[in-house]
Copies of this chain bind each other. A is one copy, B any other.
């Protein structure tokens, strides 16, 4: 009955905004409904989170809200929770369900038994099972006994998803554990164990929670091809520690870096109200958060005009290029397998950003359905990004220069060894940016002394950092002055000499091609290919062109795995830099809903594009795929400096002038002059000058 009381409480209070995350109470209402539904059976909860309302219900609500015409009686989308869970029967058969519950009424709205061909995303609980299973495994004990570990070294097991199984494998749910040894002699639990890789991967059957197999890893070099077993029993003899926590650095940290502070004496320029509503410099949007995508941006409006219905980082895959089994399975889908929200860092003041920081919280779901707060998973702050615009009138010497202030929504995820820093940035010129920073520790395997490999780079003695790619997908659900939008591919092309059109040869022409049916297409920098998202029904009063936003797709290298390989089959979204699809509720994930242990991408953006929907002058979605081919440098060890990629989404004849023209250009009075003493040979006639 507890749940019913909560429901009453909920009803007795004004309802939260449809995009506000579920409160703990609401989540527990949903849990209790599911518990009652599956009375007597054992349940394993995976996630309980807000099910975003269908656009047909949410859009009118948001429009009314923006217009200030939202009355108490205005139809509200139902408050729905999506509950992902397993039902465990006597004979240890797991059934994976996804159900939806109306948390204001406490009623079950939908229940779906997921096709056993698909695997649910992992939970951190399953990682714990793997680690326990390894310790409990006699097989692992006897295998590890083959190796002589140095005095004071202890085994560390790093749980990974199993990856895409080979053709001939069964489809039971597996987990694999990458094994390392930690030097415990310094007594520091954060001593970097990745410097000591072991050539073993225990494999657990998630159903029985038992280690069913231990894969052996090759440790050879160029000369050894795919061969295994070339290593000695003294597997760590040639490895060398590589610490990154300051107290373990041999020479400590550098002392010559003086502090740099960002001070905002009058506080930040943004406001956050109603849990998730952010307003800043004519921008207005909602910050959402879910287990799968982490932070999401909703209902972006500038000066009252709609720009974007939803902006999110949809997926990322990290395939490894080591040809030696079982590394063909080494391919993470960080969003679909692990969940960017589930793996989000709890951020700390003064560490992850400077200035005045507003944090947002999220929730964790434990196996028994208890939902708890995960604090500070998203931060919001302002940054100075250099000069915004400048002009000097050389006649009068009058210079007008403005700063380029940006508003940053940032979250950071950790998946085992790797970190990713994701940021949505808004500027004062009507521009949006999605920034990704790859950092963390590159994935290494043991390599025999003195050898080098075609599969990667030796970044530390005995540690081979394997070549790999990171391929990201950003999902843009535009609303350029409304949802009837069209994608134009705009290119600049040379024009042959001709007396009528190009007498001197300096003319080039701009060519526009509308995308009429859903499809994937590629970057074309040689043609200066730009993707414009326009509203053909609204013309710019100055230029007469349709109002729009644009981005230039980066021509980054696509997936290198062979077409037909499991790595390629399960990452079809990487086949193009840009996808244009017709909007459908719930079609959010570039690699499909279920990437965990998949052999094929199902229901991803490639399938959506295949429908061949008409996408002209309608509600469409634009996806941008970009990546980084990461052949590690020694400088990436032990923690790699950030590799940065930026997607800029800029207005193109959306406004009738530069929106930042009214940014104040007053002097920053806090800046200080650095005087350096004149050197001996200073010209006395111009002291201090030259």
| Most chain B CB inside 10 Å of its own CB: which residue of A555, A655, A690 | A690
Q: Is A245 an interface residue (CB 8 A)?
A: yes
Interface stretch among A228-236, A382-390, A598-606?
A382-390
A/B interface sample: 23 pairs, CB < 8 A? A24-B683, A242-B657, A244-B661, A253-B665, A257-B269, A259-B670, A260-B262, A263-B263, A268-B674, A320-B506, A321-B506, A325-B503, A325-B504, A350-B667, A350-B668, A351-B399, A351-B401, A351-B668, A387-B642, A467-B510, A496-B562, A635-B658, A641-B660
Q: Is A265 an interface residue (CB 8 A)?
A: yes
Interface stretch among A34-42, A59-67, A523-531?
A523-531
Choice from B351, B504, B564 contacting A565 with Cβ under 8 Å: B504
Closest to A508 in B: B560
Q: Is A189 an interface residue (CB 8 A)?
A: yes
Within 8 A of B (CB), among A313-362: 319-323, 325, 327-328, 331, 345, 348-359, 361-362
Closest to A263 in B: B261
Closest to A673 in B: B349
The distance in angstroms between the C-alpha atoms of A380 and B641, with both chains bound, is 23
The distance in angstroms between the C-alpha atoms of A256 and B348, with both chains bound, is 27
A269 contacts across to B, CB distance below 8 A:
256-258
Choice from B263, B431, B494 contacting A562 with Cβ under 8 Å: B494
Q: Is A117 an interface residue (CB 8 A)?
A: no
A388 contacts across to B, CB distance below 8 A:
641-642
Closest to A654 in B: B635
| Most chain B CB inside 10 Å of its own CB: which residue of A24, A351, A501, A640 | A351
Interface stretch among A170-178, A200-208, A478-486, A541-549?
A541-549
Number of interface residues of A (CB under 8 A): 203
Scan A654-686; emit 1 where CB is below 8 A from any B CB, else 0: 111111111111011111111010011111011
Q: How far is the CB of A463 from chain B (nearest CB, A)?
A: 9
The distance in angstroms between the C-alpha atoms of A375 and B686, with both chains bound, is 11
Closest to A492 in B: B629
Given A323-B504, A662-B252, decide whether A680 and B639 contact each other with a Cβ distance below 8 A: no
Within 8 A of B (CB), among A455-500: 455, 457-461, 467, 490, 492-497, 500
Given A635-B430, A662-B253, A676-B273, decide whether A641 and B389 contact each other with a Cβ distance below 8 A: yes
A507 contacts across to B, CB distance below 8 A:
321-323, 455
Q: How far is the CB of A257 from chain B (nearest CB, A)?
A: 5
Interface stretch among A10-18, A68-76, A209-217, A586-594?
A10-18
Top 3 nearest A-B pairs (CB, nearest first) are A505-B565, A505-B562, A328-B504
The distance in angstroms between the C-alpha atoms of A166 and B505, with both chains bound, is 11
The distance in angstroms between the C-alpha atoms of A65 and B624, with both chains bound, is 51
Q: How far is the CB of A362 from chain B (nearest CB, A)?
A: 8
The distance in angstroms between the C-alpha atoms of A24 and B356, with both chains bound, is 47
Contact A690 B21 (CB under 8 A): yes
Contact A689 B361 (CB under 8 A): yes
Choice from B461, B633, B663 contacting A254 with Cβ under 8 Å: B663
The distance in angstroms between the C-alpha atoms of A454 and B325, with both chains bound, is 57
Contact A503 B404 (CB under 8 A): no
Choice from B189, B251, B322, B525 contacting A662 with Cβ under 8 Å: B251
Q: Is A396 an interface residue (CB 8 A)?
A: yes
Contact B543 A458 (CB under 8 A): yes
Interface stretch among A83-91, A107-115, A434-442?
A434-442
The distance in angstroms between the C-alpha atoms of A683 and B245, with both chains bound, is 38
Scan A23-49; emit 1 where CB is below 8 A from any B CB, else 0: 111100000000000000000000000
Contact B633 A652 (CB under 8 A): yes
Q: Is A405 an interface residue (CB 8 A)?
A: yes
Q: Is A183 an interface residue (CB 8 A)?
A: no
Contact A505 B567 (CB under 8 A): yes
Contact A639 B390 (CB under 8 A): yes
The distance in angstroms between the C-alpha atoms of A388 and B659, with both chains bound, is 31
Q: Is A186 an interface residue (CB 8 A)?
A: no
Given A190-B398, A253-B664, decide whether A273 and B505 contact each other with a Cβ distance below 8 A: no
Closest to A560 in B: B508
Contact A396 B639 (CB under 8 A): no
Given A525-B557, A560-B492, A664-B246, decide whether A690 and B440 contact each other with a Cβ distance below 8 A: no
Q: Is A226 an interface residue (CB 8 A)?
A: yes
Q: Is A125 an interface residue (CB 8 A)?
A: no
Q: Is A649 an interface residue (CB 8 A)?
A: no
Q: Is A225 an interface residue (CB 8 A)?
A: yes
Contact A264 B273 (CB under 8 A): no
